[in-house]
Structure 1
Amino acid sequence: MRLAFLGLALVLTACSSREVPVEPDPATRLTTPQGNIVGYVEDSGAHVWRAIPYARPPVGDMRWQPALAHSGWDGEREAITAPTPCPQLGNGLNADMLGIEVGEVAGSEDCLYLDVYAPPNARDLPVMVWIHGGSNTWGYADQYNGSQLAMDQNVVVVVVQYRLGPIGFFSHPVLRESGSGVANFALTDHLAALNWVQDNIASYGGDAGTVTIFGESAGGTNVAALMASPLASGLFHRAIMQSGSASSVQQDEAENGGGFTVHPFNEAAQAITGAEVSAEALRQASLVDIYAAFTGADGRLEVPTVIADGVSIPAGGVMSAFDSLETFNAVPLITGTNRDETKLYNGLNEDFVARPLGILFRIRDENLYNAVADYQGRIWAISGVDEVADAITAAGNDDVWTYRFDWDEGGANFFLDSSRVFGAMHSMEIPFVFNHFNFFGPRLDPIAFDSSNEAGRLALAHEMGSYWARFARQGDPGASWTRWSDGPARMRFDSPEAGGSQMMPGRFTLPDLAADIMSDPHLPEERRCELVEAMQGPYFDDANALGPLTDC
């Protein structure tokens, strides 16, 4: 999903780096297959090891090559500081943390590291491998603190960094000729991390036979890609998609004068090398030149990700893999979305929310604002939940559960009413899953998560964490959460003050969505067409997918 970064830094800052210095703690000293290692103990009591190398640095001749296992180290490794983020373009969410300006390139290609959080004296615990979001173009391990989830639910949490943007996804004949045919280098990073888990996690107290992959937004999309990848067979045993999708793009190759044209990578490769395109020239190019080739005049980074390369992802794409139990990794799955996904973006769009003095947030037309968010949230759910759940159950895998996150009780001050402006926005569920509410940064966290909603949100966080961990432990979230094939119905997550969590029957469909939009009195006719146009780009490649709405 595309992010509207302009002005974002005025409200949200990247999840803050943990700058409080820590000391290595002998209680965390381990002997592992890679070598001896020592970490530290969090305030929560969790044992933490940071920046563990799971793959060889993908630098020099290893740029745009599949990840290879890291062989280990001599002596004792002190694992107490955050890994350097992978290369990414500065935006309103990450620039402060990275110490750069918006539009600058930061990070290091030597970035394939992971963090591990475990309860003390852990042994044979379920393992939960977190894949971060960020449009597959930005993000880093330091955003996510898995210590409380590990302690609350008695699980081992692994947070993985992976190659991003044009370093993580690149399709060109000269690279395939000199490599393995893979275009999703980021996906090979996930595979290497999962192989690391198989080989090493027992030393940290985890059970390599009970591995759950979970991720949000692009991380959820990568979870779907791993389910579709023939290379991931046997590396994980459950999967959770949070606000993800099963989208993928074709390589879009065509015969052209005896050679191949790959769009848009062919134009980018020419811009990067400035001469005859070769694998050597591409691998020697600077990060600045690579990122410049994919950055538009508006400063936005546009890189196709999750490419149906026929090697790491079937040539027909992720959704096509779900047609048969023989063509995907049919593990138990939870998939869900947030009710107000797009309020993260619409709340920063001055067409919807006025910004007096640049610091106040005043919704222009609340009925219109909520209607647009409702329809956009439903279409996100159709593509990321209902269609995925229908396809996987139709293939014969009944172990599918779905949810919608509805918590919208964020606090307010004179400048911002976070409940009304942001509601149950994209990524709002993450602090609840991790039970860690220092997440959005010092500008928003104190407003959204205040004393007025503390009791309710902590109760909901405990409930969601318990469901996630129970699913990780036994492949079934249990309690009153029923399978999609028994309904269909999804679990609606909300605080006790809002009626509590309960099953919500029914599915969302495009025809129902079309009928509701066309008859909604809160949507002026021109707004209906604007909404349809906005939805067709980010959500559906096929312009006919919205049926009668295409009359706009």
Structure 2
Amino acid sequence: TWVRDHIAAFGGDANNVTLCGQSAGANATAALMTSPRAAGLFQRAICQSPSYLVRTKEDAIETTEYYLDILGVQTIGDLQRLPIETLLTARGQLMRDLAKPPRLSVWGAVMDDDVLPRHPLDAAAAGTLAPIPLLIGACHDDYRPYLHLMPPGTVPQDDAAVRQFFEQLGIDGTRTVALYRERHGSIEPADLFAAAKTDYRFHQPAIALAERHAPHQPTFMYDFMWASPVLNGALRAGHTVEIPFAFNNLWTPCTPYQLGDEPPAALADAMSAAWYAFMRSGQPGVDQLPAWPPYEPDTRTTMALDTESVLLTDPAPDQRRYWAAE
């Protein structure tokens, strides 16, 4: 509403607003596409690496009560008087205690009767998401950076540990390992784990929203595939690697730590041009990329963004069908 009321003062057009988010921001974008309160406030949406960590009101209340118990307080006033260091320490304990399989996050949008009355995927299936074009996708190796963030000793080091991890999520671990072994061959178990988690956490949520929204509004799917060379290639096309390319902002003091010293400027030119074209017209087609038709359930066309970008038809269908069934 602030953008609607004030963007003209900055030279913007309140009738042509694009809401764009990555990761948690993509979840927020999908939630706002669902919210009746946000109806009409934006005309396009871009979701980069969504995962839809949406919770029930009951779950949110349980989490809140647990947090207050850790802190030993009962009122908002008590909470506001605590120093930030105490709040953060309690937050860490909350995550250690509650953010375990099958509950991998204690944060996320909360469904209620006002702001978010239903899950975005349910709203999309019913055709009640915001009636606007959607650009959506994920990074090809989205989960890779998380291997470096997981506590020591928790990254699976053999197939049995990978199986056990997915079993804790309520997923058939044996079938999961077999599927990714068939696709990737003799890769290291940690790499297999990252590939399966990338699909489970990011690729499949993106596909799920795309295939539900596509029958109702123009929807465009991408897979960001350029592999970063930093950390001896360990990041690959990992979570957030696409952001400097979408903004065409490769040359910042911190960018080399993520992209190396010579990231491909042509990819940034093409990707940012596509994002800009989508923001202007609802169509991401640009001369720097192959023709980019909408995502449809029968073709599932997906733009593979790389130094040589190509249009794919239903990439990795076995994984898509597997996770859809799970």
The CA deviation at 1:242 is: 0.6
2:91 paired with 1:294: yes
2:306: which partner in 1? 494
- 1:427 maps to 240
| Residue in structure 2 matching 1:227, options 22, 28, 33 | 33
Matched, 1:471 2:273: no
Partner of 2:295: 484
Q: Mapping of 1:30-41 within 5 angstroms?
A: none
Q: Select which of 192, 196, 214 maps to 2:2.
A: 196
Structure whose residues are more often strand by fraction = 1
Q: How does 1:505-524 map to 2 (within 5 A)?
A: 505-506=313-314
Question: Counterpart of 1:444?
Answer: 257
Residues 309, 294 of structure 1: CA spacing in aligned structure 2 closer, same or farther, 3 A cutoff?
farther
Contact 2:224 2:237 survives alignment (8 Å): yes
Shift of 1:377: 2.4
- Once the two structures are superposed, the pairs formed by residues 111-510 of structure 1 within 5 Å of their partners are 195-252=1-58, 262-272=61-71, 274=73, 277-296=74-93, 303-314=106-117, 316-325=118-127, 327-347=128-148, 367-393=188-214, 396-408=215-227, 410-411=228-229, 416-417=231-232, 419=233, 421-438=234-251, 441=254, 444-445=257-258, 448-451=259-262, 454=263, 457-479=264-286, 480-485=291-296, 487-495=299-307, 500-506=308-314
Cα drift, residue 304 of structure 1: 2.4
1:294 aligns to what SS in structure 2? Answer: helix
Q: CA deviation at 1:371?
A: 3.4
From the CA coordinates, give the structure whose radius of gyration is larger: 1
* Residue 323 of structure 1, CA deviation: 2.9
Distance 1:313 1:512, change over 3 A: closer
Could you state the TM-score of these two structures normalised by the residue count of structure 2? 0.76
Residue 501 and residue 511 in structure 1: after superposition, are their counterparts in 2 closer, same or farther (change >3 A)? closer
Q: Is the Cα contact below 8 Å between 2:267 and 2:306 reproduced in 1?
A: yes
Q: Is the 8 A contact 2:156 2:189 kept in 1?
A: no
Does the aligned pair in 2 maintain the 1:335–1:384 contact within 8 Å? no
Tell me the alpha carbon deviations over residues 457-516 of structure 1, each in whole angstroms, 9 at most, x when there is no partner. Answer: 100000000100000001111251111126211110000xxxx112111155676675xx
Name the % identity.
Answer: 27
How far apart, CA to CA, are the structure 2 residues paired with 1:300 and 1:444?
32
Give, as a single letter, the amino acid of the residue that structure 1 aligns with 2:295: W
Deviation at residue 342 of structure 1 after TM alignment: 1.3
C-alpha distance in structure 1 between counterparts of 2:256 and 2:44, whole Å: 35
Q: CA deviation at 1:232?
A: 0.5
Q: Residues 383-433 of structure 1, C-alpha deviation per residue, up to 9 Å, x if partnerless? A: 32211112223xx4231111000001x346xxx31x3x1110110000111
CA distance in 2, matches of 1:367, 1:231: 47
Q: Partner residue of 1:55? A: none
Any unmatched runs of 5+ in structure 1?
A: 1-194, 254-260, 355-364, 515-539, 548-552
C-alpha separation between the residues in 1 aligned to 2:145 and 2:321? 21
The one-letter amino acid of 2:13's match is: D
Is residue 273–residue 285 contact of structure 1 (8 Å, CA) maintained in 2? no
Relative contact order, higher structure (CA 8 A, sep 6+): 2
Q: How does the TM-score come out when normalised to structure 1?
A: 0.46
In 2, the alpha carbon distance for the partners of 1:337 and 1:343 equals: 13
Answer yes or no: is the 8 Å Cα contact 1:246–1:388 preserved in 2.
Answer: no
Other structure's SS at 2:135 match: strand
Give 3-state SS (helix, strand or coil) of 2:130's partner: coil
Aligned 8 A contact 1:491 1:501 in 2? yes
Counterpart of 1:209 in 2: which secondary structure? coil
> Secondary structure in 1 aligned to 2:91?
coil
- Give, as a single letter, the amino acid of the residue that structure 1 aligns with 2:113: G
Partner of 1:15: none
- In the TM superposition, residue 317 of structure 1 has moved relative to its aligned partner by 2.3
Q: Is the 8 A contact 2:302 2:312 kept in 1?
A: yes
Give the RMSD, CA atoms, in angstroms. Answer: 3.2
Q: Which runs of 5+ in 2 are unaligned?
A: 100-105, 158-185
Q: CA deviation at 1:233?
A: 0.8
The aligned amino acid for 2:309 is S
The residue aligned with 2:165 is none
**How many correspondences in the alignment?**
285
Residues 439, 345 of structure 1: alpha-carbon distance in 2 compared, 3 angstrom cutoff: farther
Task: After TM superposition, give the deviation of residue 438 of structure 1 in Å.
Answer: 4.5
Judged with a 3 Å threshold, the aligned counterparts in structure 2 of structure 1 residues 442 and 234 are, in CA distance, closer, same or farther, namely closer
Task: Tell me if the contact between 1:386 and 1:507 (Cα under 8 Å) persists in the aligned partners.
Answer: no
Distance, in Å, in 1 between the alignment partners of 2:7 and 2:270 is 26
> Distance between the aligned counterparts of 1:206 and 1:469, measured in 2?
14
